[in-house]
Structure 1
Amino acid sequence: MNAIQLKVIPHQTHSGLPYQHLHIEITNDNGIIMLADLKGLKLPPGIDFTQGIVIEGKGPIWLYGYLVHECHPAAWVGCYDPRLGIVVVSTHTHEVSISEVFKVDMPVLGGSECSLSRQFESCLRVKFRFEQVQHSLEAMVNQTARIEKGKHFKIFPTFNKLFIC
């Protein structure tokens, strides 16, 4: 199974312009993909290139670049920005212009139970790792406090470092 899954959902903008929503999902446990994951990655079958395609989902810039290239035959291509909406980045039609922004409600992604389950599992793993790091830092502090009596120390968890002053 590829670490990248693509799903197409027919949708429309607030103004009624129909498009196809291309959702990206990273399916591996750590949420990190490698360049090798692009090999063999294909757009889902049944895409109607007479409409626009909007790319949305978590992914690195090089994945978005690849997908914009693959979607090139479409009437227009946009990327979803949660702050703005759909931003048109490529067009072959006079209906839309480069840099045009469309307001949109996100489509409902079918099968989201699996996606939510994966997200929950991922959150639990991150929480568990954080607790492990926190426990290790506390152990270091306790050990340092015993060894370095009389000295002051500060923990900067953002840097995962223990500084002894």
Structure 2
Amino acid sequence: MVIYSIGVEVPITPTEPLPSLPVIPHGALVILEGRAPIWRYVMAFHALHGLASAVGIYDPRLGVVVVASHSTEYREGDILDIRI
């Protein structure tokens, strides 16, 4: 499991670059987290395509919701009891 924090403290525009991608081991679940506009989440998701075996979004009320998976360990729609 790898956590990729993309949150921002001030209003930004889409020209603001994403943080550098973390090291992603083969087969890893990457969790996107942080307070940010939806378009920033989509940009981060696109950057992770092909690198992560599964991607989850952290929701403070639910935990981690798996939104994409090419892994037998995780399925889209899974809710993982992980707190960040």
Larger Rg: 1
Cα RMSD, aligned residues only: 1.6
Count of aligned pairs between the two proteins = 83
**Pair 1:67 & 2:44 matched:** yes
Q: Which string of whole-angstrom CA distances, capped at 9 and with x for unpartnered residues, describes residues 44-102 of structure 1?
A: 35222420100000100000001111112211000001111000001111111000000
The answer (yes or no) to whether the contact 1:72–1:90 under 8 Å persists in 2 is no
Query: Which of the numbers 26, 39, 47 marks the counterpart of 2:8?
Result: 26
Unpaired segments ≥5 residues, structure 2: none
Measured after TM superposition, the shift of residue 42 of structure 1 is: 5.5
Which residue is 1:16 aligned to? none
TM superposition outliers: structure 1 runs of 4+ over 3 Å: none
Listed as ranges, the matches of 1:1-165 within 5 Å are: 19-26=1-8, 31-38=10-17, 41=18, 43-73=20-50, 74-106=52-84
Unpaired segments ≥5 residues, structure 1: 1-18, 107-165
Alignment identity in percent? 33
- TM (norm. structure 1) is 0.46
The answer (yes or no) to whether the contact 1:43–1:70 under 8 Å persists in 2 is no
The answer (yes or no) to whether the contact 1:20–1:52 under 8 Å persists in 2 is yes
Structure number with the higher helix fraction is 1
Aligned residue identity for 1:21: I
Q: C-alpha separation between the residues in 2 aligned to 1:34 and 1:66?
A: 12
